[in-house]
Structure 1
Amino acid sequence: MPRSSPLRPPPDYAKLRKDRAVSKAKIWDGSLVWLVTRHSDVQKVLKDPRFSKVRTLPGFPETGPGGKAAARETKPTFVDMDPPEHTRYRGMIEQDFTFEKAESMRPNIQQIVDNLLNEMQARQVQPCYI
């Protein structure tokens, strides 16, 4: 679906949400996948143990060529795991993703961003999406 902006869903998504919240879609390699467009339905799918994030399982839709081979050849990150393994790894790092932790990093992040923008300006970099 064409997008009018990289920051917004394609306009056709609104029609899909209204008329066909769950529908089949064809991806890059011609495979058919389920397209779930309503937030409440997406939440149900994400909580349903019949669905998996394990890329090496049959039927897992890859976003590009080489995905299955890469999944077999590399150790998965916790993002590519299902519970309970995912839950265990997530518990190890979730304290680093709190609002308070993010706020504590604000001054350093602001300094890095300011430095990069100043460098772009000094080099007269053309306007771009960041």
Structure 2
Amino acid sequence: MPRSSPLRPPPDYAKLRKDRAVSKAKIWDGSLVWLVTRHSDVQKVLKDPRFSKVRTLPGFPETGPGGKAAARETKPTFVDMDPPEHTRYRGMIEQDFTFEKAESMRPNIQQIVDNLLNEMQARQ
């Protein structure tokens, strides 16, 4: 689907959300995948154990060439795991992703962003 902006979903998504919340779509390699366009449906899929995040399973849709080979050759990170393994690893780091922790990093992040934007502006 063509995009008018890299920061916005294609306009066709709005039509799909309205008319067909779940539909088949063809991806880069010709494979057919399910396209889920409504937030509530996406939440259901993400919570349904019949769906998997394990990239090496047959039928897992890759976003580009070499994905399956890379997944087989590297150790998966916790984002590429299903529960209970994912849950165990997530528990090890979730204390670092609280609202309070993010807020405590705000000044440093803001300074980094400001510096980068100033550098970009100076180059123009």
TM-score by length of 2: 0.94
Q: Give the C-alpha shift of residue 95 in structure 1.
A: 1.1
Pairs within 5 Å for 1:78-89: 78-89=78-89
Report the Cα distance in structure 1 between the residues aligned to 2:121 and 2:40, rounded to whole angstroms.
43
SS at the partner of 2:23?
A: strand
Tell which deviates more after alignment, 6-15 or 58-67.
6-15
Q: Alignment identity in percent?
A: 100
SS at the partner of 1:24?
A: strand
Tell which deviates more after alignment, 76-85 or 37-46.
37-46
Tell which deviates more after alignment, 74-83 or 99-108.
99-108
1:25-48 residue CA offsets vs partner (Å, 9 max, x unmatched)? 000000000111111111111111
1:13 counterpart residue number = 13
Q: Give the C-alpha shift of residue 97 in structure 1.
A: 1.0
Q: Give the C-alpha shift of residue 2 in structure 1.
A: 1.1
Tell which deviates more after alignment, 37-46 or 77-86.
37-46
Report the Cα distance in structure 1 between the residues aligned to 2:36 and 2:118, rounded to whole angstroms.
42
2:108 counterpart residue number = 108
Report the Cα distance in structure 2 between the residues aligned to 1:56 and 1:108, rounded to whole angstroms.
38
Tell which deviates more after alignment, 107-116 or 51-60.
107-116
Q: Superposition RMSD on alpha carbons, in Å?
A: 1.0
Paired residue total = 123
**Structure 1: unaligned runs, 5 residues or longer:** 124-130
Q: Give the C-alpha shift of residue 120 in structure 1.
A: 2.2
Q: Give the C-alpha shift of residue 118 in structure 1.
A: 2.3
Report the Cα distance in structure 2 between the residues aligned to 1:34 and 1:76, rounded to whole angstroms.
24
1:61-120 residue CA offsets vs partner (Å, 9 max, x unmatched)? 000000000000000000000000001111111111111111101111111122222222
Tell which deviates more after alignment, 11-20 or 77-86.
11-20
SS at the partner of 1:28?
A: coil
TM-score by length of 1: 0.90
Q: Give the C-alpha shift of residue 122 in structure 1.
A: 2.9
Report the Cα distance in structure 1 between the residues aligned to 2:37 and 2:75, rounded to whole angstroms.
31
Report the Cα distance in structure 2 between the residues aligned to 1:6 and 1:121, rounded to whole angstroms.
21
